[in-house]
Structure 1
C-alpha cells in the first residue's frame, strides 16, 4: 500500500538543506483526499517522486489534516511504499 509524506525544508537561499518538517499520513481516506487535492488523481495513480506544494495547497492541507505548518519553509509531498 502507498501513503503520502509531506516534508519541509528551508528555501534554497538559506543554504541549509536539512529536513525541518516531516509528516507521514497513513490513513487511507486522508491519503486519497490529499492525492485529489495535490494531483487530481487517485493515490494508486501517483508516481513515485516529490511534488512541490503551493501556498494555497498548504493552506488546504493544513485545514484538512488540522495541522499547523511552520512558516518560512518550502513543502513537498511524495508517495511512499509501505514497508
Structure 2
C-alpha cells in the first residue's frame, strides 16, 4: 500500500542536509486528497520519488492537513510503501 510523506530540509545554501521536518500522511482517504491537491491524479498514478513543493502547495497542504509547516525550509513530497 502506498502512502505519502512530506519532508523538509534547509535550502542548499545553508549546507545542512539533515532532516528538519517529516510528516507521514495517515489514512487512505487523506492520502488521496493530498495526491489530488498536489498532482491532480489518484495516489495509484503517482510516480515514485520526491517532488519539490512550491510555497503555494505547502500553504494548501497546511490548510488541508491542519499542520503548521516551519518557515525557511524546502519541502518535498514522496511516495512510500507500507507493508
* Range class of TM-score, shorter chain: over 0.9
Quote the offset at 1:26 in angstroms.
2.1
Alignment of 1:32-43 (within 5 A): 32-43=32-43
Structure with the largest fraction of strand: 1
Distance 2:33 2:54 in 1: 16
Question: What stretches of structure 2 of length at least 5 have no aligned partner?
Answer: none
Distance 1:49 1:40 in 2: 17
Quote the offset at 1:59 in angstroms.
0.5
Question: How many positions carry a matched residue from both structures?
Answer: 83
Quote the offset at 1:27 in angstroms.
1.1
Moved >4 Å (runs of 4+): none
Question: What stretches of structure 1 of length at least 5 have no aligned partner?
Answer: none
How large is the Cα RMSD of the aligned pairs?
A: 0.6
Partner of 1:6: 6
| TM-score under structure 1 length normalisation | 0.97
